[in-house]
Amino acid sequence: MNRFTYPFRYHFKKWSIILDTFLFSRQIRQAYPLHPALAHTFALSRMVTAHPFLTLLLPLVTILFSWLLLAVPFRAPSLDALFSRSHSARTLAPKAVPILQALPKKISSSEERKSTNRQSLYILVADKTAKLLRVIRFYDDNDFDTIKIYPMAIGTNWGRKEKAGDLKTPEGFYWLVNIFEDRELPPIYGVRAFVTNYPNEQDLRDGRTGTGIWIHGVEPGKAPDKTKGCLEIANENLKDISNFIGIGTPLLICEKVFDISDSIHKYFRFNELLPERETVLTRSRSEQELLQNFVEKWRVAWESRDIDQYTSLYNPLYKQDGMDFEQWKRYKEAIFRNSQSISVSVSGLKIQKKSGDTAFIRFLQDYESGTYKTQSQKELILTRSNGEWRIAQENKITEN
């Protein structure tokens, strides 16, 4: 019903306002004088004064017009038509763009690097004065981000390491060349140790001596303290840093880092680091293969009962169970001679180099000769002299 009465109510209200304005025009003019510019526009009162007949006719015309509107049925548009018009309007109208989307987005440096797929590698910077070890992500445009900073302990004595046993921490550029896990370490070194290549070529030219400079953890229940020259950090931090570093990670040890940017750009060039790092990794892999071949050669010589080949793989100073090398050789020769067959197998081979001239090799050994069978965890400690590896110690860890 509302759709039929709406036109009438609208026009009735309109003409009621016009009529009220006319009837009370004098009072309105007295209370609110019109601006001269508006007086010409609202000249209804003048018209009424000049034409009194129109004044009487106006209400009758209003009533008649309203009844005519009621006589003509009002047709509301269908829902389909409304939907069609609304859809057309939305299609033609320009899409509104949210203001926030139109604002320029500030891209962080890390997001920018991800979008450009830049190459990067992790490097370490050790500040001896501040006793801080930084993990740096170094990019191919020689830019960098500091990822982590860890407190660390250094050598007991201050200064640059010059000789073995001086309890000082070296200074210079080094590489991490090996890793020891906790089961291969005395408890004082914590959960892990990263081996550096100290002394490097520059150290050797300058006559510096000593070996075994590591980044390692601490004994359980203790905090980092003075060392014999190594870099020492808490075990939890060592576990964390292991997510970023490994064999082939560069390490810069400085007496004092005055400006981290200057220190990095002085010693690091990305395009130079990559081939050097590949050399370190290749050398590590080749040494691993060399030591694996050594163990296989030792196994075959033992299994074939070739006493000369077998004993040639041991250091002439080798001792076992109170026997010197010659006594031990005669003992082994008797075993080989009295055995009809020997079967030796090696599995789970794990090679850990302690330094440039010492290597630890562990594996599970299965031995069988006649009716005798045994399985044991074996450790060979090798030393290198004149470029040749020899067995210095042979230890049986477990036996079943």
Q: In one letter, which amino acid is 241?
A: I
DSSP string, 188-199: GGTTEEEEE--S
CA distance 138 to 390: 40
Looking at residue 351, what is its pLDDT?
A: 84
Please confirm whether the linkage preceding 199 is cis (ω < 30° from 0): yes
State the pLDDT confidence band at 78, using cuts at 50, 70 and 90: very low
CA distance 329 to 362: 23
pTM, rounded to two decimals: 0.57
Task: Check for a shared fold between 120-268 and 285-399.
Answer: no
CATH topology of domain 120-268: L,D-transpeptidase catalytic domain-like (2.40.440)
Looking at residue 37, what is its pLDDT?
A: 45
- Closest by CA to 217, choosing from 284, 133, 123, is 133
User: Mean pLDDT, to the nearest integer, of 166-171?
Assistant: 96
State the pLDDT confidence band at 87, using cuts at 50, 70 and 90: very low
- To the nearest 10°, the Cα dihedral for 186, 189, 194, 195? -60
pLDDT of 51 higher than 50: yes
Looking at residue 28, what is its pLDDT?
A: 59
The residue that leads in pLDDT, 32 or 156, is 156
Q: How confident is the prediction for the chain on average, in pLDDT?
A: 80
Give 317's Cβ-side CA count (13 Å radius): 5
State the pLDDT confidence band at 169, using cuts at 50, 70 and 90: very high
Count of Cβ atoms closer than 10 Å to residue 287 Cβ: 18
pLDDT of 298 higher than 60: yes
CATH class of 285-399: alpha beta
Q: Where are the domains of the chain?
A: 2-91, 120-268, 285-399
DSSP string, 120-187: EEEEEEEETTTTEEEEEEEETTS-EEEEEEEE-B-BSS-SB--STTS--B--EEEEEEEEEEGGGS-G
User: Mean pLDDT, to the nearest integer, of 307-317?
Assistant: 95
